[in-house]
Amino acid sequence: MKKTVRHLAKTFLIGTLLSTTALPALAAEQVNIYSFRQPYLMQPILEAFTKETGIKTNVVADGTGILERLKREGINSPADIVLTVDIGNLSELVKANVAQPLKTDVLEQNIPSQYRDPNGIWYGLTVRARNIFVATDRVKPDEIKTYEDLADPKWKGRVCTRPGKHPYNVALVASMIAHHGEEKAEQWLRALKANLAQKPQGADRAQLKALKEGVCDVAIMNSYYYGRMLTEDNPEELAIAKAATMIFPNQEDRGTHVNVSGMALTKSAPNKENAIKLMEYLSQPAAQQLYAQQNSEYPVNPRVEPSGVVASWGEFKADPLPLTEVAQHREAAVRLLDKVNYDG
C-alpha cells in the first residue's frame, strides 16, 4: 500500500512538472489568439493563413472569461489578438484597457468606419442583421415592418425571443434607447414583453423552431442562423427555416439593427508584427469571403460579395448608427431589461 501511494505521488509530481512546462512553444513565427469564437468556425481560416504566411497560430478558443484572463495577465499576457463577437464584448475590451490602438491603411480601407472603433482599438470582421421572422402560413410579410411593430397589441401572445439578457438582445434594446430615448424604449419593451407567447428561453434557433411549431407567429433571430439552417444539409432544420419568412426590419426608415464579430490587438502582444499581418489578412477579400461564408454572415469589407444564400436575400439597409454608440447604451439596456422583468 505504502509503495502504491508513493508511486502515485511520484506519478503525480512528474505529471505536474511536465504540464507546467507546456507553455506555448517559442517557435520563431507565431501568433497567439484568445478567441470567443468556436474552434470549428475559426480553424479553416487560420489554416489558410498559416499556409500562406508560414506563421503558426495558437488558440485558446471559445472562452467566456477570456477578458478577465487578459486583464489579470497584464503586460505578460502571451495573447496577441482577441477575436470576439458582439459590440458588448468589443467595448469591454476598450473599457478594460487591454487592447492597443492600431491604424494601418489596409485595415482602414477594408473596414468601413461604422464597424470599427474610432481610435482603432477594435475592428469588425463580419456583420449580422438582427431580423424579424414570421410564420409564412399565418402572417403576411407586410404585416410587420419594424422593431417598433413588435410592440403592437395585435401580436399579443404571438412573439418569441431568446432571453433578453443575451448580448444580441441587449444590443437591440440599446439601439432602441439610442434612437428613441430610455422612456420610449421602456414603453416599447414593456409592450413587447406583453406580446410574448412564452417565457423567453432557448437560443436563436429555438425561436424559429417555436415558429414552426405554432407556439408563436413572430420571432427574432440573427440572419446567419437562417443562412446556416438553409445550407447545413439537415432536413429538420431546413424544414424549420422553410416555414418562416425573413424580414429586414425598418427598411423604410433608419435600417436594420446590425452587430459585428471583430478583433483587437492586445496591449501586451509579444508577436505584434505577426498579429498585424493576421489582422490585415482577415480584412482582405479572400479571407473575408471564407470567414463570412463559414457562418453565413455579411463580410465587413464592402468590396466582397456575400456568399450564395446570403446574397440571395438581396441588399438591405443597415442602421448607420455607429456601434460605439450602441455600446454606450448597453448598461442602460441591461438595467431596463431587469426593470421590466423581461426574462421573468
- Chain positions contacting other proteins, by CB under 8 A: 1-2, 5, 8-9, 11-12, 15-16, 19-20, 22-24, 32, 38-40, 58-66, 68-69, 72-78, 88, 92, 95, 163, 165, 167, 170, 198-203, 205-206, 209-210, 212-215, 234, 330-331, 334-335, 338-339, 341, 343-344
Instruction: Extract long-range pairs of 202-209: CB within 8 Å, 24+ residues apart.
Output: 202/162, 203/162, 203/166, 204/162, 204/168, 205/229, 205/237, 205/240, 206/162, 207/133, 207/160, 207/161, 207/162, 208/133, 208/240, 208/241, 208/244, 209/240
* Axis crossing angle, helix 204-213 with helix 223-231, rounded to the nearest 10: 70
Q: For residue 19, which amino acid is it?
A: S
SS3 34: strand
Exposed / middle / buried, residue 143 (Cβ in 10 Å: 0-12, 13-18, 19+): middle
* The C-alpha cell that represents 176 in the structure block: 432602441
Alpha helix locations (H) across the chain?
Answer: 2-20, 39-53, 66-73, 87-96, 105-110, 167-180, 182-195, 204-213, 223-231, 235-242, 272-283, 285-294, 308-312, 323-328, 330-339
Rg (alpha carbons) of the chain, rounded to whole number: 22
Exposed / middle / buried, residue 274 (Cβ in 10 Å: 0-12, 13-18, 19+): buried
* The C-alpha cell that represents 255 in the structure block: 435600417
* The C-alpha cell that represents 269 in the structure block: 502582444
Backbone angles phi, psi at 151, to 5 degrees: -85, -5
For 299-314, what is the HEC assignment?
A: ECCCCCCCCHHHHHCC
Q: How far is CA 267 from the centre of its chain?
A: 22
Nearer to other proteins, 214 or 308 (CB): 214
